[in-house]
Amino acid sequence: MHQLKSFFKQRCARALAAMDGSAEKGALDEASIVVEIPPRPDMGDLAFPMFSYAKLLKKAPPLIAAEVARSLAEDVECARRGKAVAVGPYVNVYLNRSSVAQELLSTLLKEEPRGRELSFLAGKRIMVEFSSPNTNKPLHLGHLRNDVLGESISRILAACGATVRKVCIINDRGIHICKSMLAYKEQGNGSTPESVGVKSDRFVGDWYVRFHTMSQEDPTAEERAQQLLRQWEAGDPETIALWKQMNQWAVEGIKATYQRTGVSFDHYYFESETYLKGKEEVLKGLERGIFYREADGSVWIDLTAEGLDKKVLLRKDGTSLYITQDIGTAIFRHRDWPFDQLIYVVGSEQQYHFKVLFKVLEKLGFEWARNLYHLSYGMVNLPEGKMKSREGTVVDADDLIDNLKEMAIEEIREKDREAIVGSVEDVAERIAIGALHYYLLQVSPTKDMLFNPKESLSFNGNTGPYLQYMGARISSMLRKKEGSAASRGMVRPELLTGDPEWELLKTLAQFPEALETAARSLDPSLIASYLYEVSKTFSRFYHDCPILNAEEPDLAATRLSLSEAVLRVLRTAMDLVCIPFLEVM
């Protein structure tokens, strides 16, 4: 579709330029031509509005449209591809279905669906940071949105040719970690995740919850946690050993959840290994007069001139803050893998933090600080009354997925599909992940949202399972090819001229553009809505057109190969939004 659009743009530009001898070069080139998809199929396949040339050509838009249409009609190359008609201020193009179908279908079946034309990010090195948990508790619903956004954006950028490096910072030190350590140290009696039969990150999280109860009963608990932090910073061997053990539990459990959702990283950074670098840089900046010291000894940056605030970078006792480690982490990242861009996928509540961080790095003289970007996403909540967790507020990621999986198992049983799907557990897990990911990505990243588990699982509607179901349906059709009329026919794309077939083919051919827009705006919801468009168009086709046993064997074979093209686009696009594909469902 992209090639066709650019062909017609070029010809429109040429026609316009011919109308005005005095037009400056460039004012009427291909890039300046706007192309639209008409709102109704009876208005053609492409539309070129002529409003914006009226001034330059000193002519009314309908007159311009008439002249451009005439010029396109006279051009044999154009005429072969389609018919141009002036309708008011527009030039509408009706593509020549039988000849264009050939071109479109063969491209779809030959190439990787992403297409060669889409290497617009080739040579770019993009680092994407996402998830970035703390080691005092398991992943929760908010992380699930973060994780799938980061993973999906990484896949989308890579599909456009970028070299992508996915990274995670594990915030593994600081007072919150010491709180779960303290509770365990005082009350744990050497228990382990194995001894109590609890997933290891949950085990650590339970001690963090316990700390809160402890500190309500005994106000000195807070001070003992601070003491533990000082011991940690001083390198006290016993404290370090305990910290290592609990971190290992937390990280192991968190990684198991990543495995489950299909999220992965090329590199993990640990705050405990980067915060000293941050501290060192802050002290260097202080020496160079970029930062200043308060009377109490703390180190600050004054960003009031930049419309920000004054911000503390080192505490009065010399200990680091959240931002201190981020300074060190960013520097290490650029040293390890010089990037053209680093995207931080982090919640919108940290907008201010990232503004300050980027400014600090810029003031420290790091050129690449200009290439840092905060992809700020909105909150995700559960509707009132759904799945309260232990603390009554956050829901653990694992619990949520388990819950979705249970619901999917029930659905499979109710529909009597246990024998058909094979491993019910396995299929239900993949349905759960598909439901979750699609629901979370379907909303634009910046918006806050509610996650409705029941709605996400609906088998008919704008959901992940619906897409999975469509994939399974086409897969099953392809398995039944032998013995059908389709196996006796020849693929002849010129037969795809009926409205439902034509619309489907055009929709498939728009995939590269949908992908490019999603990459440019870092917004996977555009792939989600594209997928929904494909599924709706396919349903109409499936409903209206017999496939395997169309009366003409050639037509059957051709429609089946169109279905195969749907499957290829579907598989690729589903993978971009992290929805597992299912052969049977």
Point out which residues bind ligand ARG (CB under 6 A).
Answer: 129, 132-134, 169, 171, 326, 344, 346
Nearer to ligand ARG by Cβ, of 129 and 501: the residue is: 129
Q: Which residue is nearest to ligand ARG (CB)?
A: 132
Residue showing tokens 């840089």: 281
Nearer to ligand ARG by Cβ, of 33 and 395: the residue is: 395
- Minimum CB separation of residue 62 from ligand ARG in Å reads 55
The string of DSSP letters for 502-514 reads HHHHHHHHTHHHH
Nearer to ligand ARG by Cβ, of 171 and 180: the residue is: 171
Nearer to ligand ARG by Cβ, of 269 and 466: the residue is: 269
The encoded tokens of residue 359 equal: 């400014």
- Minimum CB separation of residue 136 from ligand ARG in Å reads 10
Nearer to ligand ARG by Cβ, of 174 and 580: the residue is: 174
The string of DSSP letters for 346-377 reads EEGGGHHHHHHHHHHHHHTT-GGGGGEEEEEE
* 506 neighbors 562 (Cβ within 8 angstroms): no
* 205 neighbors 198 (Cβ within 8 angstroms): no
Q: Which backbone phi and psi does 188 adopt, to 5 degrees?
A: -75, -25
- Minimum CB separation of residue 323 from ligand ARG in Å reads 8
* 85 neighbors 69 (Cβ within 8 angstroms): yes
Cα separations in angstroms, 539 against 179, 485, 522: 55, 21, 29
* 118 neighbors 519 (Cβ within 8 angstroms): no
Residue 381: strand pairing partners: 450
- Minimum CB separation of residue 193 from ligand ARG in Å reads 22
Nearer to ligand ARG by Cβ, of 67 and 129: the residue is: 129
- Minimum CB separation of residue 316 from ligand ARG in Å reads 23
The encoded tokens of residue 112 equal: 């990787």
CA–chain centroid gap for 328, Å, is: 27
Residue 46: strand pairing partners: 93
Taking the C-alpha atoms of residue 272 and residue 137, their distance in angstroms, rounded to an integer, is 17
* 542 neighbors 534 (Cβ within 8 angstroms): no
- Minimum CB separation of residue 383 from ligand ARG in Å reads 24
Give the SS3 label for residue 28: coil
- Minimum CB separation of residue 167 from ligand ARG in Å reads 9
Nearer to ligand ARG by Cβ, of 191 and 351: the residue is: 351
Nearer to ligand ARG by Cβ, of 7 and 368: the residue is: 368
- Minimum CB separation of residue 398 from ligand ARG in Å reads 17
- Minimum CB separation of residue 211 from ligand ARG in Å reads 17
Nearer to ligand ARG by Cβ, of 270 and 511: the residue is: 270
- Residue 218 CB-density burial (10 A; 0-12 exposed, 13-18 middle, 19+ buried): exposed
